[in-house]
């Protein structure tokens, strides 16, 4: 019987804000790549993001955000120390918090859905891979958009040094749920990535649900779970 719902974050609940991407490009252009075309800077950032996601998923690790930005700079033979890398992250975190990701669904509908789940005895958590943005920053976002309160715990790959779809990641989910007196048969993991969310969960013996926004509404599915309809 499903008693706990684990939710992916990116492209399941949130999508990135393009204004942050623009601000980040401008930041690197103004501070490090003044002679570079901004479209090239964007291409480099996207390539590093895609490469990092692939490494993290294939190897089950979680590369640090600072290392990703260091790779961007080192491609142009720009050498910075750890103090400067921390400053870069902190500067960009401010820009990220000023251009917060967008909820994929109407807030009032999300709020109602989560309230119904909680009132019907379900527990919830976020299970998310991270890359350029750390878990600690995402927590600030979840508080800012006022949905943090609905979750019993959070699992971010940078905080446990492993990523979905690794068994190690989903074992963290199982162990966290055991603290709520739940076993893996009680867990349902929901996400948009077939490889990271669905195959990863299933390999660990966890039930899963693949949600693609344009094909099925996450909230409709969660509301059916809340009404104890058979999954």
Give 47-97 pLDDT, tens digit per residue: 999 999 999 999 999 999 999 999 999 999 999 999 999 999 999 999 999
Q: Which residue has the tokens 């749920």?
A: 177
Mean pLDDT (whole number) for 175-204: 97
For residue 198, give the nearest of 57, 22, 78 by alpha carbon.
Answer: 57
Mean pLDDT (whole number) for 33-47: 97
229, pLDDT greater than 60: no
Mean of the per-residue pLDDT values of the chain? 95
Pure H helices in the chain: 18-31, 38-59, 65-74, 82-98, 107-119, 135-144, 157-160, 167-178, 200-203, 218-226
Q: The whole model's pTM is what?
A: 0.95
In this prediction, residue 225 carries a pLDDT of 87
Mean pLDDT (whole number) for 111-132: 97
pLDDT tier for residue 170 given thresholds of 50, 70 and 90: very high
Residue 159's Cβ-side half-sphere holds a number of Cα atoms within 13 Å equal to 15
In this prediction, residue 213 carries a pLDDT of 74
What's the angle, vertex CA 142, arms to CA 136 and CA 148, rounded to 5? 105
230, pLDDT greater than 80: no
Instruction: Give the percent of the chain with pLDDT over 90.
Output: 94
Spatial separation of the C-alpha atoms in residues 163 and 56, rounded to whole Å:
6
């Amino acid at each position: 019987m499903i008693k706990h719902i684990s939710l992916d974050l990116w492209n399941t609940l949130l999508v990135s804000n393009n204004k942050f991407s623009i601000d980040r490009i401008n930041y690197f252009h103004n501070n490090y790549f003044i002679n570079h075309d901004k479209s090239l800077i964007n291409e480099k950032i996207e390539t590093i993001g895609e490469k990092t996601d692939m490494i993290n998923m294939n190897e089950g690790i979680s590369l640090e955000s600072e290392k990703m930005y260091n790779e961007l700079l080192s491609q142009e033979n720009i050498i910075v120390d750890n103090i400067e890398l921390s400053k870069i992250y902190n500067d960009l975190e401010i820009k990220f918090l000023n251009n917060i990701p967008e909820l994929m669904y109407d807030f009032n509908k999300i709020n109602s859905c989560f309230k119904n789940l909680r009132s019907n005895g379900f527990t919830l958590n976020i299970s998310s891979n991270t890359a350029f943005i750390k878990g600690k920053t995402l927590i600030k976002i979840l508080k800012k958009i006022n949905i943090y309160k609905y979750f019993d715990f959070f699992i971010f790959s940078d905080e446990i040094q492993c990523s979905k779809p690794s068994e190690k990641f989903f074992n963290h989910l199982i162990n966290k749920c055991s603290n709520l007196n739940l076993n893996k048969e009680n867990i349902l993991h929901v996400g948009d990535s077939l490889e990271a969310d669905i195959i990863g969960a299933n390999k660990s013996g966890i039930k899963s649900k693949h949600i693609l926004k344009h094909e099925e509404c996450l909230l409709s599915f969660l509301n059916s779970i809340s009404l104890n309809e058979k999954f």
